[in-house]
Structure 1
Amino acid sequence: MPLPRASAPAALGCLFLLSACTPTIGVEAAPGAADPDCAPVMLALPDVLAGDLGKVGTNAQATAAWGEPGAAVTFRCGVDQPGPSPDCQRVESGQGTVDWVAATGEDGTWRFTTYGREPAMEVTIPPTVLEDHSSSFVGDLTSAVTLVDATKECT
């Protein structure tokens, strides 16, 4: 005996219920989010960051997030390229080397922007995540970020 088929409205209703349970993080798209060089980077981003932060959906092009609303690490491709800075740091991992310009906000949020890569990419780490994790977030992103060749290095 054949199994009964679900009607299209019922199937869409189930899909809606499943998607309603999945958090979506609001992230503002970067000015250069439509840069075609962002696409391979976005596809190569890891599903897990810092050992236990799972990737979640975002609401904008060329963005990604790991964690939960209010306590998520966010990534944007196509941000404005930073100029030379004394805050430029070279981060080496088993996957390669990336230069990042680091800045911290008054609220304790850290922002790392790639230096010498076009399009530039940015990682934002809120203080609530830093309290619970000691892993190198930017190091976990190296294999994806290095898909955009470096043209300059920290000095």
Structure 2
Amino acid sequence: MVRLPKDLGEQQRVWTDAQSTAAWGSPTRVIMACGVTPPGPSTLKCVSLGGVDWLVDESEQPNFRITSYGRTPAVQVYIDGGDTSVDPNTVLTTLGRLVSAHTQKSAQCSDPDQIGE
């Protein structure tokens, strides 16, 4: 948590009082939680960004719930997709670099792609 960036694109990091969480934006546009239950195999879209495979739940569009796949512990990111100043690919690339460096890889997506595809 201490290595997380102060900025994600145009969004500044803001204080949270929940353990193992981080947030960016005012109002909040990106929320991250560490230590969530790792997901099993899924039919959700899978993208590979920042060295991490991510499962993308688009059921609440324009918002996204995105969970690292094949990593322990798992990380979940909520992104306000309705705000054009937040680019999901940039957020996941930036956070993915940290997640990949500090979690163990145990599985990977069979055919990952980009969120915009």
Residues 1:82 and 2:39 are matched in the alignment? yes
Report how far residue 85 of structure 1 moved: 1.6
Report how far residue 107 of structure 1 moved: 4.8
CA distance in 1, matches of 2:53, 2:68: 6
Per the normalisation by structure 2, the TM-score is 0.81
What is the aligned partner in structure 2 of residue 64 from structure 1? 22
Identify, as 1 or 2, the structure richer in helix.
Answer: 1
Instruction: Report runs of 4+ in structure 1 exceeding 4 Å deviation.
Output: none
1:76 counterpart SS class: strand
RMSD: 1.7
Segments of 5+ residues of structure 1 without an aligned counterpart are: 1-41
Identify, as 1 or 2, the structure richer in strand.
Answer: 2
1:1-155 alignment to 2 at 5 Å? 42-50=1-9, 52-69=10-27, 71-93=28-50, 97-129=51-83, 131-134=84-87, 136=89, 137-146=91-100, 147-155=102-110
Per the normalisation by structure 1, the TM-score is 0.63
1:132 counterpart SS class: coil
Percent of pairs identical after alignment? 35
CA distance in 2, matches of 1:123, 1:92: 13
Matched pairs, number: 108
Deviations 1:53-103 (A, max 9, x none): 11110120000001013x42000001121111232524234xxx1011100
Segments of 5+ residues of structure 2 without an aligned counterpart are: 111-117
Deviations 1:2-50 (A, max 9, x none): xxxxxxxxxxxxxxxxxxxxxxxxxxxxxxxxxxxxxxxx122111102
Q: Higher Cα Rg: structure 1 or 2?
A: 1
